[in-house]
């Protein structure tokens, strides 16, 4: 006999919790399933632990490389094991406050691997659970590329920052070879380099951050990495790996030549894929896309009417992104749609404006369309890129690294996208995101009074560049 719930949720990450809380608010019962620590990727091995350690690495770097004349470099001692231990404490506390403490009353959790029995029933830990409605929120996992010998050598994935699991990295490697040049590779590569590891990144394309980013962004962060001594090998494809004593040796084709790279640790950072291939999805009758994503409509409903899906498992459908805030928002929408008294009351997802940040130093922050995407969408685009040296705040704090680029419709003036590389870009990008949400125009950025000096002024300055040379303006002038 199966236990009965109003909503069965596969997973316990941010998407799952948002759905469970939404169901609770509606007076419904919900059960989540989880085979790893409660909370999913973000709190346990993604956003929270990585940003904690990235900031620690920045403190070390800034002490060694003060930007101000008159400040003497100093070396901060590093106890990597203790640093990892404090990271674990932060994760434990956050997991307790934001996840575990919420499991009571109408919300429960069943531990173990989950598999469908039929479209309404799952089995977890030998126990059957049945739901009137079902939400699949099993998240994603690192993709493993086709590299000969990979299964025979030790390697790391982004799960190296996990807590309470054996794959957690507790010793600082002397060297690190990263296969991949996306956001995970950039964040972890710079972090480990600043901790003292010799870092090499194998990037398949001609620059970092190719697909979905402005070319100026990739070039800018590439120059910053080169200045910090991080080796990025472009047009490089890893072909094979082998163990040689305590080291791993990778063979790659780089620039048309075969080259070998010896490293203490190998990190695979070539993307993520939806966790849909080991949950008996065929027994639910849900359609699955070619990359493992669950096919959903604009209400997050799968091909089976009472089964919904949200978060990383839907990948990029309806312009979604594999990101914690996207999954969290969609989880709540999916739960409320599942219990909508009438289909006319269901809410469509809206992924038109999704700001995103790469927590390198300086940060990379983007929202909306690139110039190429805007043109492909039929816009006659105006765009301009300015160096951060034109932003007074950047000059005042002696950190002029980076760029800002704005893309707008030339005829209407509506701003379509903004890309920033710069100090605190992740904070400033929210002004651009709100502007895009309400379809602001170039003149709106110009007319808005900005606090002087702030990094957000970069948005006003690049907007002014539509009409004037911003290098020839006085402070705060329009």
**pLDDT 10s digit of each residue in the chain, 478 long?**
779 999 999 999 999 999 999 999 999 999 999 999 899 888 889 999 999 999 999 999 999 999 999 999 999 999 999 999 999 999 999 999 988 888 888 899 999 999 999 999 999 989 999 999 999 999 999 999 999 999 999 999 998 888 888 888 999 999 999 999 999 999 999 999 999 999 999 999 999 998 899 999 999 999 999 999 999 999 999 999 999 999 999 999 998 899 999 999 999 999 999 999 999 999 999 999 999 999 999 999 999 999 999 999 999 999 999 999 999 999 999 999 999 999 999 999 999 999 999 999 999 999 999 999 999 999 999 999 999 999 999 999 999 999 999 999 999 999 999 999 999 999 999 999 999 999 999 999 999 999 999 999 999 999 999 999 999 988 877 7
Across the beta sheet with 198-202, the strand order is 231-233, 198-202, 175-179, 265-268
Q: What is the pLDDT of residue 197?
A: 98
Matching fold, domains 3-39+99-141+273-345 and 356-472: no
Relative orientation angle of helices 47-64 and 80-98, to the nearest 10 degrees: 140
* Residue pointed to by tokens 């939400």: 135
Decide: 362 and 49 in contact? Cβ < 8 Å.
no
In the chain, domain spans? 3-39+99-141+273-345, 150-270, 356-472
**Which backbone phi and psi does 241 adopt, to 5 degrees?**
-140, 150
Architecture per CATH, domain 3-39+99-141+273-345, reads as: 3-Layer(bba) Sandwich (3.50)
Decide: 269 and 188 in contact? Cβ < 8 Å.
yes
For 225, the 3-state DSSP assignment is helix
Measured distance CA(123)–CA(126) in Å, rounded: 6
Which neighbouring-strand residues pair with 129?
Answer: 3, 122
Q: What is the pLDDT of residue 48?
A: 93
Question: Residue 379: which of 320, 428, 461, 439 has the closest Cα?
Answer: 439
Q: What is the pLDDT of residue 432?
A: 98
The CATH homologous superfamily for domain 356-472 is FAD/NAD-linked reductase, C-terminal dimerisation domain (3.30.390.30)
CA 457, 463, 465, 468 dihedral sign is negative
Question: Residue 28: which of 132, 118, 129 has the closest Cα?
Answer: 132
Neighbouring C-alpha atoms within 13 Å toward the C-beta of 358: 26
Largest interatomic CA distance in the chain: 76
Q: What is the pLDDT of residue 188?
A: 97
Q: What's the angle, vertex CA 364, arms to CA 411 and CA 311, rounded to 5?
A: 90
Measured distance CA(154)–CA(134) in Å, rounded: 38
Question: Residue 205: which of 189, 219, 224, 184 has the closest Cα?
Answer: 219
Measured distance CA(434)–CA(354) in Å, rounded: 10
Architecture per CATH, domain 150-270, reads as: 3-Layer(bba) Sandwich (3.50)
- The DSSP call for residue 467 is T
Measured distance CA(234)–CA(218) in Å, rounded: 12
Decide: 40 and 14 in contact? Cβ < 8 Å.
yes
Decide: 37 and 13 in contact? Cβ < 8 Å.
no
Measured distance CA(12)–CA(334) in Å, rounded: 15
- Angular region, 349: left φ>0, alpha ψ -120 to 50, beta rest: beta
Percent helix, strand and coil across the chain, each to the nearest 5: 35, 25, 40
Structure token pair of residue 2? 């199966």
Decide: 68 and 398 in contact? Cβ < 8 Å.
yes
Structure token pair of residue 298? 């604009």
Question: Residue 184: which of 192, 174, 194, 175 has the closest Cα?
Answer: 192
Look at strands 3-10 and 127-136 and give their pairing. parallel
* Residue pointed to by tokens 């590569």: 189
Question: Residue 268: which of 188, 367, 361, 370 has the closest Cα?
Answer: 188
| Number of Cβ within a 10 Å radius of residue 95 | 19
Query: What's 427-456 look like in SS3?
Result: HHHHHHHHHHHCCCEHHHHHHCCCCCCCCC
Decide: 202 and 178 in contact? Cβ < 8 Å.
yes
Decide: 428 and 459 in contact? Cβ < 8 Å.
yes
Question: Residue 335: which of 99, 34, 42, 134 has the closest Cα?
Answer: 134
Measured distance CA(352)–CA(438) in Å, rounded: 11
């Amino acid at each position: 006999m199966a236990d009965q719930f109003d909503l069965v949720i596969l997973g316990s990450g941010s998407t799952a919790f948002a759905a469970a809380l939404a169901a609770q608010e509606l007076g419904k019962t919900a059960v989540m399933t989880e085979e790893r620590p409660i909370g999913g990727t973000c709190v346990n091995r993604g956003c929270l632990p990585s940003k904690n350690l990235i900031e620690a690495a920045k403190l070390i770097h800034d002490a060694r490389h003060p930007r101000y004349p008159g400040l003497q470099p100093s070396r901060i001692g590093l106890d990597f094991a203790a640093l990892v231990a404090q990271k674990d404490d932060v994760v434990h506390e956050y997991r307790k406050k934001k996840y575990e403490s919420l499991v009571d009353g109408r919300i429960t959790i069943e531990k173990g691997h989950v598999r469908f029995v039929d479209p309404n029933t799952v089995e977890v830990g030998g126990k059957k659970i049945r739901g009137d409605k079902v939400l699949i929120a099993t998240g994603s996992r690192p993709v493993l590329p086709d590299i000969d010998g990979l299964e025979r050598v030790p390697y790391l994935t982004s799960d190296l920052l996990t807590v309470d699991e054996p794959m957690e990295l507790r010793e600082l490697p002397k060297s690190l070879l990263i296969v991949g040049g996306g956001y995970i590779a950039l964040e972890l590569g710079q972090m480990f380099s600043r901790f003292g590891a010799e870092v090499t990144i194998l990037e398949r394309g001609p620059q970092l951050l190719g697909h979905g980013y402005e070319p100026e962004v990739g070039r800018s962060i590439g120059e910053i990495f080169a200045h910090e001594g991080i080796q990025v090998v472009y047009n490089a494809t890893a072909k094979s790996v082998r163990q040689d004593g305590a080291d791993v040796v990778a063979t790659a084709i780089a620039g048309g030549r075969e080259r070998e790279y010896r490293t203490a640790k190998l990190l695979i950072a070539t993307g993520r894929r939806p966790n849909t291939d080991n949950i008996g999805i065929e027994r639910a009758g849900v359609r699955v896309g070619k990359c493992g994503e669950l096919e959903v409509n604009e209400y997050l409903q799968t091909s089976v009417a009472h089964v919904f899906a949200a978060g990383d498992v839907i990948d990029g459908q309806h312009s979604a992104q594999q990101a914690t805030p996207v999954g969290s928002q969609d989880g709540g929408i999916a739960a409320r749609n599942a219990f909508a008294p009438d289909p006319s009351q269901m809410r469509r997802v809206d992924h038109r404006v999704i700001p995103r940040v790469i927590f390198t130093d300086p940060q990379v922050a983007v929202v909306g369309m690139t110039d190429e995407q805007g043109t492909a969408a039929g816009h006659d685009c105006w765009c301009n890129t300015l160096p951060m040296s034109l932003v007074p705040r950047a000059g005042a704090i002696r950190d002029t690294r980076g760029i800002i680029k704005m893309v707008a419709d030339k005829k209407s003036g509506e701003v379509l996208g903004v890309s920033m590389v710069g100090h605190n870009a992740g904070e400033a990008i929210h002004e651009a995101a709100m502007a895009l949400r309400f379809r602001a125009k170039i003149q709106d950025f110009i007319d808005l009074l900005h606090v002087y000096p702030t990094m957000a002024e970069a948005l006003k300055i690049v907007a002014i560049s539509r009409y004037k040379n911003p290098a020839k303006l006085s402070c705060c002038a329009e």
